[in-house]
Structure 1
């Protein structure tokens, strides 16, 4: 259940957010399943990019360690009126750029388009 909630946090995170490229704590609203159906919960997530140098050429040798926007996470419980059990959801406490943890996330090259903030 907690893994599903975390995936929902990451999927919803970008919707309607201000443009920022730094890794920081951001407010988010996620949908969590409860005994009365889906309910919206306000939480915080880590969002943004970390500085990374990409090599000019592809080498089988040296690859700089990629940093990703990671956070200190905890779980909170919210009780819903009419439900015998509370719902558990993730809350980011702090965010920092740290070396990508290959045990918990994909650390390969991102092959999609990188969206940039508009220049004003």
Structure 2
């Protein structure tokens, strides 16, 4: 093997995690309340992308720290609030949603993230959208 190839492989292994494709990505959330007349489409950013993981098939041979199953998750986020149109006076017409400012590869925190891959797409409106 050439020295260039060996150095390239080592460089990729060392810096592969920092160069992963985990970054804020544009996403549209559709929000509606039963009491309100309209659906609201909100453009936000979520964390999405590839994070380097290690195969756990050899878990009996490796240390526990060597088995990482990282996901693309929030490093920094903030919350914004939107007003859902067409709500009666007795209903709270506000919806708060997260906005990803920066992302990282790490363990999934169930306090603020859905750590299960969604099988069914339910992100749609059943009521008319107000422009």
Shorter-chain TM-score bucket reads: 0.5 to 0.7
**Which ranges of structure 1 fall in alignment gaps of 5 or more residues?**
1-20, 111-120
Q: 2:51 is matched with which residue?
A: 50
More strand by share: 1
More helix by share: 2
Please, what TM-score do these two structures have when normalized by structure 2?
0.52
Count of equivalent residues: 87
Residue number among 96, 109, 113 corresponding to 1:88 in the alignment: 96
Structure with the larger RCO, 1 or 2 (CA within 8 Å, 6+ apart): 2
Residue number among 38, 48, 73 corresponding to 2:77 in the alignment: 73
Please, what TM-score do these two structures have when normalized by structure 1?
0.56
Q: Which has the larger radius of gyration?
A: 2
Tell me the C-alpha RMSD between the 2 structures: 3.0
Q: Secondary structure at the match of 2:58?
A: coil
Instruction: State the 1:57 CA deviation.
Output: 2.7
Instruction: State the 1:55 CA deviation.
Output: 4.6
Residue-by-residue CA offset, 1:66-85 (whole Å, 9 max, x unaligned): 22111123221112444453
Instruction: State the 1:46 CA deviation.
Output: 0.3
Structure 1's 42 and 33: CA in aligned 2 closer, same or farther, altered over 3 A?
Answer: same
**Which ranges of structure 2 fall in alignment gaps of 5 or more residues?**
1-19, 118-131
Conserved in 1, the CA contact under 8 Å of 2:54 and 2:68?
no
Q: Secondary structure at the match of 1:37?
A: coil
Q: 1:16 is matched with which residue?
A: none
Instruction: State the 1:102 CA deviation.
Output: 6.1
Q: Secondary structure at the match of 2:51?
A: coil
